[in-house]
Chain A
Amino acid sequence: MDEQVTLMIYRGDNVQGEMKEYKIPVAPGMVVLDAVHAVQATQAPDLAVRWNCKAGKCGSCGAEVNGRPRLLCMDRMDKYPAGEPIAVKPLKTFPVIKDLATNVSWNYDVNKKIPAFKMRDTKGEEPRFSQEEADRVQEFRKCIECFLCQNVCHVLREHDEKNTFGGPRFFVRTAGLEMHPLDDENRLDLLKDQMGLGYCNITKCCTEVCPESIAITDNAIIPLKERLVDQYYDPLRKLYRILFPAKKT
């Protein structure tokens, strides 16, 4: 167990910072978060990093390891080539608060814009739906809000369209509500006008990084895009919409 590993960790804030080198002993089964904690406990007590569950369930510990977005608590050290330093940086798309902690408050603001679940009238009956119907939305409801998808989406990462674009996480969330068997709200205007669904050009980068393996593009974004087309560009539907404006498609 005398084997050492070298970590390069970003130390600093949004204005200035540098990659600092730390060496720590490795243990079997170690994940990158363990290594960062070892640095914290023995060499850099003020090193900022977020975590909670240490089991891939809370989505707190997202960062970029050797340039790839990862949950630090699920990222095994033995997957990286032995003897080479491992570089850990904060998510690029969000402003750094300190070290590995970024300011993700923008995501919470977007979430607030999405109209809440509205239960349809079940006429006093106990609501019923099948497991198959549940499965469809449970996929979206698995999201742990790690924001790794937000971090890689080029609309946010390269173009910083945070005022006009909601990002894959919130397409997933909206899909979970729109396809909910008991929901009676319509969020298509929101998707078109405020969440910029049209800006997504289906590169699938978001799906690739999702630690919950949610098929973000195929199961959430594309069906939502189809609904938008149906609602806004299908002439019959358009007429229907003018006649019955509040109804859900």
Chain B
Amino acid sequence: MGKYQTFQYDVVVVGAGGAGLRAAIEASAQGAKTALVCKSLLGKAHTVMAEGGVAAALSNVDSRDDWKVHFRDTMKGGKFLNQWRMAQIHAQEAPSRVRELEEWGAVFDRTKDGRILQRNFGGHTYPRLAHVGDRTGLEIIRTLQDKGVHQGIDVHMECTIRKILKDGDRVAGCFGYQRESGRFVVFQSKAVVLATGGIGRCWEITSNSWEYTADGHAMAMWAGADLIDMEFIQFHPTGMVWPPSVKGTLITEGVRGEGGVLLNKDRKRFMFDNVPEMFRGEFAETEEEANRWVAAVVANKLPDARRPPELLTRDVVARAIRREVREGRGSPHGGVFLDIASRRSPSEIKKKLPSMYHQFKELADVDITKDPMEVGPTCHYMMGGVRVNPETQESTVPGLFAAGEVGGGMHGSNRLGGNSLSDLLVFGKRAGEFAAKCALQTSSFGSCDDDQIEVAARECLEPFDESHGENPYAVHEQLRTLMQHYVGIVRSQDDLKHALVEIEQLRQRAAKVKVGGNIQFNPGWHLAMDLSNMLDISEAVTKAALERTESRGGHTREDFPDSESEWGKMNLIVRQEGRDINVSRRPLEPMPAELQQLFNK
């Protein structure tokens, strides 16, 4: 071990987005010596890009809201596959976590009486998203960052973790490299919290950044942890579709929350024809009713109408858009229209959606206060992740915790907008708290034996082998195209089987990638290493998708278009056994009667 730079901490948090920062703050507040490790510079994690808001039943805008309604919305949104206990804890604790941010200096938009303002979002019964215009994530990450740097947390920026190290069954630390120097580094620790975010870079059209290469998902699986719900990928209905440069870039759901409508090429609001059985009766049935709802919301009154169908859950809206396009009713560049210009005044649009205004003006030459946007689905969020204990966030590997997007179970088959930022805060805090407790109860460090480290180091350096010849960028592009077309919004048995064969072939090519240059700040090399994570997790997603012979939330099967009640009682677990990635079924924990009755109304 002496060969590489080595650090010792009670707790190492891998990832410095909302979940990682909140975990590190908590772990350090509990007295644990804590490190925070991230691939980018501090403050640049995905969380910074979150736009619309953070969901919490503060009931500042509509007093009828409370945790029970939030819990119910979350479970319905997830089509009841969520771990109910996580959804319950989340709904109960989100308000305190948001208020705590205010105590740490966050400045949310205000109601007329000076409290935190909340906006409407898809799937949420009442206005529930605390927000700052359309840059909520920036406010949250900056607040946590500034809190964190004054708390004695050691931050290791631009450092990528590659492997969890184990001593027997439990976690002993982790291994990685400094991006700048290329040098390897070992963190010896009593607990590791994974907070690495998602896996969107496995798809061609995505709102996700280069960081979302499935690192945490893969490292957990390699370490022997269970993954859950891996078949469920959220395709956000509104990504940009033109020009090619910005294909996939997100347009916040806040546009629809502020009254924006979806139109096909015949200027028809097609969402009225797309209300699923489960939500029938909860949405406006005529444009007149939908308009009344918007008018009431704009006037800051309690609406006496039902909400517009544009605010259905994301899985429903994304599928509806895909259908319009497939059936020839799409916009010129293969999307549909999202129109806010005819609904709100230019000054309101600029005030409420400033970064959307800016983004379209600068990148697409569209003035959204005058013209509609062209939008289409984009791979956005991974519902599946590390299976954790709902109270402690500990995985099935002792000492290994997970929180945020890399965690699984909270959102079931589909996540509601705004429920991620709250998830990060609620479960980030819990992960930090229990990781610290776990570490402080552990008397000595596990041993990180040299063999494990040497194997990991050797694997990392393989792309410098002179006999290799594949271009890592080309292999990555092929994987993304494959996943887009064969493991996309709508899947079938044939497509999924085809994908598995191709993934295997890509794996063989990935083993032969070659990078030029040296180990210093070498993105080609970094990508070459990340191919293994992406291939293994792509396989996990594909296998789970093949197993689930029904359609539900973020998993739609052309050959099994309906939801089946038997499948509604079952989660899928992915686990690595030997070299094999295997899928098994796990019955849902029964919901206690007092929660069950919330759905009987």
Contact = CB atoms under 8 A, between A and B. Distances in A.
A60 B40 contact: yes
Given A117-B146, A128-B113, A57 B517 contact: no
Interface stretch (B7-15, B120-128, B356-364, B581-589): B356-364
Contacts of B477: 41
B149 interface: yes
A74 B360 CA distance: 11
B147 A46 contact: no
Contacts of B358: 56
B242 A29 contact: yes
B523 interface: yes
Contact of A183 (B105, B132, B249, B515): B105
B115 A126 contact: yes
Interface in A219-246: none
A202 interface: no
A61 to B, nearest CB: 10
B209 interface: yes
A134 interface: yes
A17 B51 CA distance: 39
A145 B48 CA distance: 11
Contacts of A74: 362-363
Given A29-B242, A99-B521, A54 B516 contact: no
B524 interface: yes
A51 interface: yes
Contact of B246 (A29, A44, A108, A142): A29
Interface size class of B (residues with CB under 8 A): 35 or more
Contacts of B522: 45-46, 48
A58 interface: yes
A46 B48 contact: no
Nearest to B472: A45
A53 B41 contact: no
A53 B180 contact: no
Contacts of B473: 40-42, 45
A56 B359 contact: yes
B135 interface: yes
B40 A52 contact: yes
B246 A134 contact: no
Contacts of B46: 52
A138 B516 CA distance: 45
Nearest to A60: B44
Nearest to B148: A116
B517 A45 contact: yes
Interface in A108-156: 108, 111-112, 116-117, 119, 126-131, 133-134, 137-138, 141-142, 144-145
Contacts of A58: 43-44, 48-49, 209
Interface in B96-112: 102-105, 107-110
A111 B522 CA distance: 28
Contacts of A81: none
Contacts of A117: 104-105, 146
A67 B244 CA distance: 27
Contacts of A40: 473, 523-524
Nearest to A104: B41
B517 A46 contact: yes
Given A55-B49, A116-B150, A117-B105, A76 B244 contact: no
A51 B210 contact: yes
B461 to A, nearest CB: 15
Given A55-B249, A74-B363, A141-B139, A131 B49 contact: no
Contacts of A137: 107
Contacts of A31: 245, 363
Interface string A92-104: 0000011101001
Contact of B138 (A111, A133, A144): A144
A200 B477 CA distance: 48
B521 A134 contact: no
A249 B234 CA distance: 50
Given A40-B473, A52-B210, A55-B249, A108 B42 contact: yes
B442 to A, nearest CB: 30
A49 B521 CA distance: 9
Contacts of B139: 141
Contact of B521 (A30, A98, A104, A129): A98
Nearest to A31: B245
B42 A55 contact: no
A160 B191 CA distance: 42
A57 B107 contact: no
Contacts of B113: 128
B520 interface: yes
A132 B474 CA distance: 51
Interface string B493-529: 0000000000000000000000111101111110100
Nearest to B358: A56
Contact of B364 (A29, A48, A111): A29
Given A45-B524, A117-B104, A180-B107, A27 B244 contact: yes
A46 B40 contact: no
A83 interface: no
Contacts of A45: 471-473, 515-517, 522-525, 527
A127 B48 contact: no
A45 B48 CA distance: 27
A191 interface: no
Interface of B: 40-46, 48-49, 102-105, 107-110, 113-115, 117, 132-133, 135, 138-139, 142, 146-147, 149-150, 155, 157, 180, 209-211, 242-246, 249-250, 355, 358-359, 362-365, 471-474, 477, 515-518, 520-525, 527
Q: Which 7 A-B pairs have the closest CB atoms?
A: A29-B243, A45-B524, A46-B517, A117-B105, A128-B114, A41-B473, A48-B521
10 contacts: A13-B520, A28-B245, A29-B243, A45-B471, A52-B49, A52-B209, A76-B362, A104-B41, A127-B102, A180-B107
